[in-house]
């Protein structure tokens, strides 16, 4: 990764704080390995969940004898099963992600690296992918904290190219796998729209989280006068005369776009976070992502 990214992600104080977070998984996930992810499936873990009446054939080792001594009835202690989670991270690598200072892509890489760290730290199976006009299945599911440097190296190798095509990418390029969590990090700016592609992702029984990265200059631009606007993905140029009234209309349009994305996420039970690149990175991870229901403090 670039020095800018490494300095924040690998600083001992940052990692110490990051260890206190975990990824949110609202749905029960089914896994095969023991991990630190709690699911709704009852099992024989270390964390107590509930009681139920004892029936013939139950394991007598889980009878609560203290409760029997008080009530004279047999009750079985139930525990929350610890499950591993499939975590798929999708980073938008289209050219529009180059916009801003720092660029949206740099910010997206940092977010992806932090989420990968959280998943690997908790022994989840983490896959890292990028998308634009097509899906690049960059790193298959990996488990284990020692693999994090491989993820950092992959993120550092990402070069922006082409346009974003959610429909083609997420309807045709998705890998098959188990249920789990999918985190999409993008500006979601595409003339073809994002709805069809994200619906396909949600249709795979994935708990989807959307992180909308945005540069301050595109949220609330301030330049007026005769300008030439250049589409970063296609290179198309459009001469415009920008007035204060046009700027106000643009800001309303952009805000409506964000609200539409937020509403879409709500309708399809996805988490959503708006992530301007001028928000301090640690504040984004420890405050904004928690408020958005993507991570939680342990």
User: pLDDT (tens digit, 9 = 90+) per residue, 130-141?
Assistant: 998 888 888 998
Q: What is the pLDDT of residues 215-236, one digit of tens each?
A: 999 999 888 888 888 877 777 8
Nearest Cα residue to 281 out of 97, 106, 52: 106
DSSP string, 129-155: EEESSSEEEEEEEE-SGGGHHHHHHHH
252 has a pLDDT exceeding 70: yes
Burial category of 282 from C-beta neighbours within 10 Å (exposed 0-12, middle 13-18, buried 19 and up): middle
Share of the chain above pLDDT 90, in %: 36
Give me the mean pLDDT over the 164-169 stretch.
88
Between 183 and 4, the higher pLDDT residue: 183
Nearest Cα residue to 293 out of 260, 271, 269, 276: 271
Exposure string of 4-13, with b = 16+ CB inside 10 Å and e = fewer, is ebeebbeeee
Query: For the chain, how far is it from start to end, CA to CA, in angstroms?
Result: 28
Q: What is the pLDDT of residues 60-102, one digit of tens each?
A: 777 888 877 888 888 777 654 555 678 999 999 999 999 998 8
Strand 75-83 relative to strand 47-53: parallel, antiparallel, unpaired? Answer: antiparallel
Helix, strand, coil: what percent of the chain each, to 5? 40, 30, 35
In this prediction, residue 44 has a pLDDT band, given cuts at 50, 70 and 90, of: very low
Number of C-beta neighbours around residue 159 at 10 A: 8
Residue-level pLDDT at 25: 57
In this prediction, residue 175 has a pLDDT band, given cuts at 50, 70 and 90, of: low
φ, ψ of residue 152 to 5 degrees: the values are -60, -45
174 has a pLDDT exceeding 60: yes
Least confident span in 141-145, 154-158, 178-182, 198-202: 178-182
Average pLDDT for the chain = 81
Residues 6 or more apart whose Cβ sits within 8 Å of residue 26: 207, 293
In this prediction, residue 6 has a pLDDT band, given cuts at 50, 70 and 90, of: very low
List the Cα angle 3/274/271 in 5-degree steps. 110
Give me the mean pLDDT over the 239-262 stretch.
94
Q: What is the pLDDT of residues 11-42, one digit of tens each?
A: 667 777 888 787 875 333 433 444 444 454 44
Contact 128, 89 (CB under 8 A): yes
In this prediction, residue 296 has a pLDDT band, given cuts at 50, 70 and 90, of: confident
117 has a pLDDT exceeding 50: yes
Give me 12's structure tokens.
């001992």
φ, ψ of residue 31 to 5 degrees: the values are -135, 180
142 has a pLDDT exceeding 80: yes
Residue-level pLDDT at 106: 93
Give me the mean pLDDT over the 209-214 stretch.
96
pTM: 0.79
Nearest Cα residue to 127 out of 161, 164, 90, 84: 90
φ, ψ of residue 141 to 5 degrees: the values are -55, 125
Contact 84, 32 (CB under 8 A): yes
């Amino acid at each position: 990764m670039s020095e800018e990214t490494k300095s924040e992600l690998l600083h001992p104080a940052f990692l110490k704080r990051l260890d206190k977070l975990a990824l949110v998984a609202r749905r029960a996930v089914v896994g095969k390995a023991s991990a630190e992810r709690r699911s709704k499936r009852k099992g024989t873990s270390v964390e107590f969940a509930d009681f139920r009446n004892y029936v013939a054939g139950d394991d007598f080792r889980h009878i609560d004898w203290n409760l029997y001594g008080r009530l004279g009835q047999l009750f079985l202690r139930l525990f929350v099963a610890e499950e591993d989670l499939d975590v798929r991270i999708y980073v938008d690598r289209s050219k529009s992600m180059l916009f801003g200072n720092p660029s949206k892509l740099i910010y997206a890489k940092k977010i992806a690296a932090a989420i990968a760290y959280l998943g690997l730290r908790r022994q989840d199976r983490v896959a890292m992918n990028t998308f634009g006009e097509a899906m690049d299945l960059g790193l298959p599911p990996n488990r284990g904290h020692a693999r994090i440097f491989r993820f950092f190296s992959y993120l550092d190798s990402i070069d922006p190219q082409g346009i974003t095509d959610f429909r083609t990418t997420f309807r045709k390029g998705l890998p098959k796998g188990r249920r789990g969590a999918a985190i999409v990090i993008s500006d979601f700016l595409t003339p073809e729209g994002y709805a069809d592609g994200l619906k396909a992702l949600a249709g795979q029984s994935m708990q989807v989280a959307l992180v909308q990265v945005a540069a301050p200059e595109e949220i609330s631009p301030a330049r007026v006068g005769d300008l030439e606007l250049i589409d970063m993905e296609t290179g198309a140029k459009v001469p415009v005369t920008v007035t204060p009234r046009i700027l106000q209309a643009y800001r309303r349009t952009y805000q409506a776009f964000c609200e539409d994305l937020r509403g879409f996420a709500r309708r399809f039970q996805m988490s959503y976070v708006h992530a301007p690149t001028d928000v301090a990175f640690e504040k984004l991870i420890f405050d904004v992502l928690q408020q958005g229901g993507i991570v939680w403090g342990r």
